[in-house]
Structure 1
Amino acid sequence: MKMKRTSAWGGSALMLLGLVFTLGLQDVTLQPLECYSCTDRGDGSCLPENAANISCTEDHNVCEETISAIRTSHDSHVVLKKGCGYGTAAKLNQTISFHGISIFIQMNQCNSSFCNGNLTLRDPQLSPEDNITRVPTDDQCYICMGRPGAECTPSNAPVLPCYETYSHCFDGNLTISLDNDTTLIHIKSCAMSYRCEVQTVTYGSTSYEIKGACCSGERCNLDLSNSTQLEGLPFLEILHNDIEEPTTTPTAAPPPSPTPTHTQPTPTDTQPTKCAPQRSSYQGCSASNGGTGLLHTPWLILLLSLF
């Protein structure tokens, strides 16, 4: 009897342990992924003590951190983003080139809570520029890059000379998005092309869009906010700012007619009409040759005979 009771208690204990283990697994499965969330542009927002802790939604299965080092013809800036993402655990080093603007990307995706706390703004190393000569030319553009507390506007953008490989100007925006966190950076710089179509690239959960316009002409990138270039648009050339009147393409004047047929007579080119001497103060004559003027009719002779 004692053996049967011991066996029964053993079976119940095993069932209880199995139930606890199953409930524990369910609790682990339902636990949402948690990640650091921040955007740091040099203000320390992604330091461990400043970054926000967020719970990811069901469609996000990784934590992500991405450093974007941006370089233009005269300037550079670094943006660090952290947040929830989707995909697989992976690391990536990639470069985006856009007509003289380069973006060097360092990305880390991981699948455990708060695993995206490794990258800092001290990590990125800008790649060296290849085949870039630094000999200034006569071409000049407005130069600036938007930063917190120092936005890039026409009023605070200095005019600087371009280099031999940068013979055009650019004015537009770089948008970096991670999940619902979006950063917009306004850029004015020298460019390598006269046409810069919109470019959109996505790596992991981070997307990049460069949107604006390139132009040719002295300081032509003062404000191209309404001149976004899409694929297939024609060449954009901006006139100098000191030209007030718009210039249109001249058209050749039609050749003069060799024998004008209907011209208005003027005192300088028309001979006066000769009239016969008159015996009345009511003088006048007809310019036509049809003889229908008042002084050439029988009615006038009759009237004069009455006097």
Structure 2
Amino acid sequence: MEAVLQNSTDFVLLGLITHPTLPELVFAVVFSIFVVAVTANMVMVLLIHVDSRLHTPMYFLLSQLSIMDTVYICITVPKMLHDLLSKEKTISFLGCALQIFFYLTLIGGEFFLLGFMAYDRYVAVCNPLRYPLLMNRKICLFMVLGSWVGGSLDGFMLTPVTMSFPYCGSRKINHFFCEIPAVLKLSCIDTSLYETLMYACCVLMLLIPISVISVSYTRILITVHRMNSAEGRRKAFATCSSHIMVVSIFYGAAFYTNVLPHSYHTPEKDKIVSAFYTILTPMLNPLIYSLRNKDVASALRRMLQSHAFFQRVAAKDVSRKY
């Protein structure tokens, strides 16, 4: 089989756990997280779409975050689940390139979107009277488009270069998806210059939204500190707390992956961190916003009550017919 793989352009994904003793159990856990993540994000998008009370810039940006998370988890997890129960764990050269491109696009898009969401919170807390002007529909659409375009630039720049290196040795990627550092380890030429340039690019990608987030929350803290009303402070904290939690989780994992030097990395650590922000984060984001946000919780309760009401009406109509 090794000889066949060496003459093939396909790669082999060794998985999150190289030789799991209970692959069915790992499959069940990952599949459960996947279902919860996709369901929670789709419910969030549906709520924001159908409930007029959520037709605000903040929730419009949140719906885009849910869409990104849904696509994000669908890039890696279905293949991972298939490999857990399959003897053939191969991924084609094109499939690997597509995974890298969409992964880079979506993670870059989330970097920028979370930065724009911090600016939205800054305007809401510090300039509430000008909020309709500073966060109008055109500006929101520009933010969303800018996030997608900014993320895709990263994908368009790094994916072709990564896949242009010769991979003439082992085709076994010690990962559960085609993440660039794991793929580059298989190259039979020196990639250190490219890795340095890629490191600088990733740091720059992180610095731009982090700067926006830092400035926004610094201004928010100053404004909250100057508030005389305890109720005003509580509302400001409630407005920002969910976003702060999501930013902390997402950027914490991104900092390890993209900023820490290679000496701090091991294949096992890299896979655990990657699993955290590719599998767990898409599930946690909508749960954080729904559990800590009264507007979302109220919208969900209204939707469930409306669904139950229509079910009762339908049941009564059926009983009358008979």
The structure with the largest strand share of the pair is 1
- Normalised TM-score (structure 1): 0.25
Q: TM-score, normalised by structure 2?
A: 0.24
Structure with greater helix percent: 2
